[in-house]
Every structure is written in C-alpha cells, then in structure tokens.
Amino acid sequence: MKSLAFTVAAGCLSAGLALAETPVLTVYAPDYFVSEWGPGPRIEELFEARCDCDLQFKPGDLLPRILLEGDRTEADVVIGLNTDVTKKARESGLFAEHGVDLSPLTLPIDWTDEVFLPFNYGHTAFVYDSTRVDAPPASFDALLEAPDDLRLVIQDPRTSISGLALVLWVQSVYGDEAQAAWEKLAPKIVTVTKGWSESYGLFTDGEADMVLSYTTSPAYHIIAEEDETKKAAIFPEGHYFMVELAARLATSDQPELSGAFMEFILSEDFQGMIATGNWSIPAALDRDKWPDGFQKLDLPENVLFYSEDEAAALRGEAIEAWRRALSQ
C-alpha cells in the first residue's frame, strides 16, 4: 500500500516537473480569435505540433493592455494588430524585430516593415445583398450620387478599426473634398455603430442595404453558408488596404519560441488555414492556393494605403471632416 502511494506521488511529481519544463508561449490576441469559430484553436494546434511547447492565448485588448503593462508584460507575441496602432507601438520601444524573410509575401502593396509581420489582409468595401440591391453603385462617385433611399450602416472611426479605415479611404479618394463627399453620403447613412459586429448584425437583419465591411466578407457566406448573394461593390477609385499584423515583444523570456512563431506565421500550414480561419486573404499564399470561395471574390485592382506616418498626420483631419459633415 505504501509503495503504491509512493509510486503515485512520484508519478505526480514527475508529471508536474514535465509540465513545468514545457515552455509556454504567451500570445495576446483579439477577443474573437479564441472562440471556437475564430482562428485561435487551429493556430494553437498547428504550432504546438511543431514546437513542443504550450501556446497560451490571452484574449482582450492588445496595445492598450501592453502599454499599461510596459516592460513587465508577460506577452511573448501579440497577434491581430492593425496599421492604425503600429506607430504608437513602435514608439513604445516594447517590440523587437521579427527577423523573418519577407520575400514570400503576396500582398498587393510593398511591405518592408521589420517589426510588424502581416498574416492576412483584406480591403474596406461596402457589402450588399444582391437580392435586395438591383443596381449596386459601380464607383465611389456613383455611391455618393445614389438616391438617398439607399441605406448604409458604417462604423465609428473613433471606436473601430474599420470605421477609421473608411475615413482614410474617403480621404485618399477625395482629399480636400472629403467633407463634401461625406455631406453627400450623410443622408444615406442610417446609423453609425461602435464596432463591426453591430453593423453587420443590422445588415443581416435587413435594416440596411449596404454595410461597411471587407472585400472578403462574401467568402464567409459562399463557403460557410453556400450563399452567393452577398457581394462587395468594387470601385475603380480603389479600396483601402486593411492588414492584420503580428509582432514579438522585446521583453519576451522565450525569444527562440517567439522567433519560431514568427516563422510559422508565413509557413504554408498557417497561411493555408488562415483564409477560412479568420475570413481574410492569406498574406503569403498565391491566389491559386486560396480556398475556392476566396478565388471567386471580386477584388479591387487599385489598392489605397497610407503609411503609418501619413495616416497619423491625416487622421485627425479625416475624422473631423466626417464628424462635421455628419453632425449637420
């Protein structure tokens, strides 16, 4: 009896030691990442299969939390950042270079950033239901001139990434005329929501004809629901580029693991999964390897993008043009 107890105790002890020796990679990710419908579980499975480590997601706020924690953050890697925060993040000095060869990237723009590594992308677009909208606007100008009974929902640029991308989109298409463009758009805007989810919910409930979303949104409906009626209106003026990024923390106590994770992000395993995992276009995968539903997408030829410095300089003005026009 005694020996059994001893064996059990020894067994527990060694299991505990083995557990303690498995290195842990702590990854901060946006909240939707970790649900069973998000890409988190698949990323964890694929990476743990190759790293002999324990990947732990910590969902929630990304940069606000890291800035609050400063150099005491326990994050090794952060995934899911957007270009609107890269400047602030870079200036904090908390992030290290990713050290990954960027030549496999298949983005529609040049990307040479040594700190922030893209893993998937899309473009802002107005998504509509082709059973409800017969003649979708064929250009941004046509959208501005559309009759006022075309109902749009958009997101607030002060609280949402996609909302901010929209005001930068308008800014890059219309420049000094941005406020006038917003004034034409204003009567068509049913409402402005805090985030993307609320807008998309209003759209699927039939409350609006078109919703500010992404060029990749129809892929979800094609693949998951076999529904080809949801489409993105493609404008020749161009669409604003939206990319999601990962970065390593300089303070990480697992520099090798976080480096391996960065390499993993551009690997075919990760890239092949991310399209249907996060409903966005893989950052380093040729179009013929995308899932069928993605190959069917209408994508813009002209892609608009401001560097982080340009965006930082324009942002206040672009939001003010939006606010003034819509407050009248």
Partner 1 sequence: MAPRALAIAAALALAVLTLGPVGVVLARAGGFGAFGPGDWQALRFTLWQAFLSATFSVVLAVPVAKALARRRFAGRGVLVTLLGAPFILPVIVAVMGLIAVFGQAGLVNRLLGALGGPNLDIYGLHGVVLAHVFFNLPLAVRMLFSAWAAVPAEHFRLSASLGLSPRAQWRVIDAPLILRVLPGAFTVIFVICLTSFAVALTLGGGPRATTVELAIYQAMRFDFDLGRAAALAVMQLVLALAAGLVALRVAGQAGFGAGRDRILPRWDGQGGLARGWDGMWIVAAALFLLVPLAAVVLRGLPGLLLITPDTLRAAGHSLMVALGSTALCMAWALPLATRRGEFLALPAIAISPLVLGTGLFLILRNFVNPFDMALPVTGLVNALMALPFALRILRPEAEAVTRDYGRLRASLRMTSLAWLRLVWLPRLRRPMGFAAGLTAALAMGDLGVIALFADPDRATLPLQVYRLMGSYQMEAAAGAALLLLCTSLGLFWLFDRGGRLGAEA
**Count of residues for the chain?**
328
Asked whether position 193 contacts partner 1 by CB under 8 A, the answer is yes
By beta-carbon proximity to partner 1, the closer residue of 288 and 292 is 292
- Per-residue x/- track, 90-129, partner 1 (CB under 8 A): ----------------------------------------
One residue of 34, 125, 143, 212 binding partner 1 per CB under 8 A: 34
Closest CA to 275 of 228, 217, 229: 217
Asked whether position 189 contacts partner 1 by CB under 8 A, the answer is yes
305, exposed or middle or buried, with CB in 10 Å at 0-12, 13-18, 19+? buried
Closest CA to 155 of 319, 321, 325, 328: 319
Question: Rounded CA gap, 258 and 264, in Å?
Answer: 10
Please report the sign of the dihedral spanned by the C-alpha atoms of residue 101, residue 105, residue 109, residue 115. Answer: negative
The DSSP symbol for 137 reads: -
By beta-carbon proximity to partner 1, the closer residue of 36 and 134 is 36
Question: Rounded CA gap, 70 and 64, in Å?
Answer: 10
One residue of 54, 198, 237, 317 binding partner 1 per CB under 8 A: 198
Asked whether position 201 contacts partner 1 by CB under 8 A, the answer is yes
- Cβ(258)–Cβ(252) under 8 Å? yes
Asked whether position 296 contacts partner 1 by CB under 8 A, the answer is no
- Cβ(289)–Cβ(281) under 8 Å? no
Question: Rounded CA gap, 272 and 20, in Å?
Answer: 32
Asked whether position 224 contacts partner 1 by CB under 8 A, the answer is yes
One residue of 95, 196, 235, 240 binding partner 1 per CB under 8 A: 196
Asked whether position 206 contacts partner 1 by CB under 8 A, the answer is yes
Asked whether position 19 contacts partner 1 by CB under 8 A, the answer is no
Closest CA to 132 of 226, 203, 217, 222: 203
Q: Minimum distance between the CB of residue 301 and partner 1, rounded to whole angstroms?
A: 26
For the segment 52-91, give every residue that binds partner 1 (CB under 8 A).
Answer: 56-61, 63-65, 67-69, 72, 74, 84, 88
Residues in contact with partner 1 by the rule CB under 8 A: 30-32, 34-38, 40, 56-61, 63-65, 67-69, 72, 74, 84, 88, 151, 156, 158-159, 164, 186, 189-194, 196-198, 200-202, 204-208, 217, 220, 224, 279, 320, 322-323, 326-327
